[in-house]
Amino acid sequence: MKGMLAMAQQHYIKYLRDVKDQSISQIAEQTGVNWRTAKKYADCSDWNKAERPLRGKFPIMEAYREQVDTWLIEDQFRLRPKKQRHTAKRIYDRLVSEFGFAGSDRTVRYYVAKRKLELQIEKSEPYIRLEHPGGEAQADFGTFQAIIGGELVERKMLILSYPYSNAAFVFVTPKENTECFLEGLRQLFEMCGGVPNRIWFDNLSAAVVSVGTDGKRKLTDEFQRFALHYRFQPVFCNPAQGNEKGHVENKVGYARRNWCVPLPVANDMEQLQNVINQQALEDLKRLHNAKGVLQQELWEQEKIKLLELPLVSYEAFRLEF
């Protein structure tokens, strides 16, 4: 061990020193530790553990550690529902039935308890910001024209874009009302194969009833239920600050210029959706303009950070007499 500070705190102090270039005094003041402790971690160059390696404590677990860690990490970082996460008993039963594990359930329980504690520390906020970019999205509507059934019509596109990979997915809808908005998000989540951890929105009326003078928003009941159902955190731009979600706004313009010129032609809305989907998938094959890597590769990296889809889809509808 390197002292009494949690690993996340040690990591944050090192981040302030190396990335933010803060002095020892600034770090001590910001983190609430004394100067000597701040210097110890800020200028540390040897992070080897002083304790015995895990191999000595769990020799029979050595061949199964990677598999058990995979199950635990999937539960922790993909935020699976509590009732659908692995218990120590479930892990023991799977090891026995799937891998022929010959150890005791007590050994598995002890190892799982230790790793769950360690994973909670690793999952703290500073660690996520430094080591786990991606998995966040921005959403916005755009208007475009198309020819459907031989008739020129105006339609809306709801775009969900991912700044990390530059991937974008589109749902075509006739309106921007609450039902179309929520149905569009549901369809987009299913196209992505998961749910973003956080989504940035404008203060659109389909989600926001009002914005108070203190900046607090009153959300529609339907949108709140939808966000709880899919477990994402909604984030709203400050009024008149659309640049806070500039990625999706740029993507709306990009989609109109590149995927809707010339005007898309389709027999019906379903075919139009397929045409736009194909354009979005083809766009993933180009290089990311800043990272020099195929967007498809970055998207594959980002996809694993999405939350799992719920077992039951949300049904957006309105009852009227």
What's the mean pLDDT in 237-265? 79
Residue 243 has pLDDT above 80, yes or no: no
Written as six digits, the tokens of 106 are 């007590």
Question: Which domain-ending residue is among 88, 108, 132?
Answer: 132
Question: Does 4 lie in the same domain as 153?
Answer: no
Q: Note whether residue 312 is domain-resident.
A: no
Question: Does 88 lie in the same domain as 237?
Answer: no
* Number of domains into which the chain is organized: 3
Q: Note whether residue 268 is domain-resident.
A: yes
For residue 56, how many other CB atoms are within 10 A of its CB?
9
Determine the pLDDT at residue 52.
Answer: 46
Banded pLDDT at 189 (limits 50, 70, 90) = very high
What separation, in Å, do the N-terminal and C-terminal C-alpha atoms of the chain show? Answer: 67
Question: Does 227 lie in the same domain as 262?
Answer: yes
Banded pLDDT at 303 (limits 50, 70, 90) = very high
Determine the pLDDT at residue 4.
Answer: 57
Determine the pLDDT at residue 280.
Answer: 93
Question: Does 236 lie in the same domain as 104?
Answer: no
What is the chain's mean pLDDT, rounded?
A: 82
Identify any residues that bridge with 140 across adjacent strands, giving them in sequence order.
Answer: 159
Residue 261 has pLDDT above 60, yes or no: yes
Q: Is residue 78 a contact partner of residue 64, using CB atoms and an 8 Å limit?
A: no
Residue 219 has pLDDT above 80, yes or no: yes
Determine the pLDDT at residue 58.
Answer: 62
With pLDDT > 90 as the criterion, what percentage of the chain qualifies? 34
Determine the pLDDT at residue 220.
Answer: 84
Question: Does 158 lie in the same domain as 119?
Answer: no
Question: Does 114 lie in the same domain as 1?
Answer: no
Report the alpha-carbon distance of residue 221 to residue 217 in Å, rounded: 12
Q: Which domain holds residue 177?
A: 136-303
Question: Does 66 lie in the same domain as 21?
Answer: no
Where residue 173 sits, what CATH number does that domain have? 3.30.420.10
Question: Does 223 lie in the same domain as 164?
Answer: yes
Q: Note whether residue 321 is domain-resident.
A: no
Q: Note whether residue 317 is domain-resident.
A: no
Question: Which domain-ending residue is among 74, 105, 132?
Answer: 132
Report the alpha-carbon distance of residue 159 to residue 97 in Å, rounded: 44
What's the mean pLDDT in 302-314? 90
Residue 83 has pLDDT above 70, yes or no: no
Determine the pLDDT at residue 53.
Answer: 43
> Over the stretch 129-157, which tens digit does the pLDDT of each residue have?
333 468 899 999 999 999 999 999 999 99
Report the alpha-carbon distance of residue 8 to residue 30 in Å, rounded: 15
Q: Note whether residue 146 is domain-resident.
A: yes
Question: Which domain-ending residue is among 97, 132, 167?
Answer: 132
Question: Does 268 lie in the same domain as 194?
Answer: yes
Q: Note whether residue 255 is domain-resident.
A: yes
> Over the stretch 43-77, which tens digit does the pLDDT of each residue have?
875 555 444 444 445 678 888 887 888 788 777 65
Least confident of 46-50, 207-211, 242-246, 311-315: 46-50
Question: Does 72 lie in the same domain as 31?
Answer: no
Question: Does 151 lie in the same domain as 288?
Answer: yes
Residue 63's Cβ-count burial label (10 Å; 0-12, 13-18, 19+) is: exposed
Q: Note whether residue 10 is domain-resident.
A: yes
For residue 101, how many other CB atoms are within 10 A of its CB?
22
What's the mean pLDDT in 175-193? 93
Q: Is residue 308 a contact partner of residue 78, using CB atoms and an 8 Å limit?
A: yes
Q: Note whether residue 71 is domain-resident.
A: yes
Question: Does 194 lie in the same domain as 124?
Answer: no
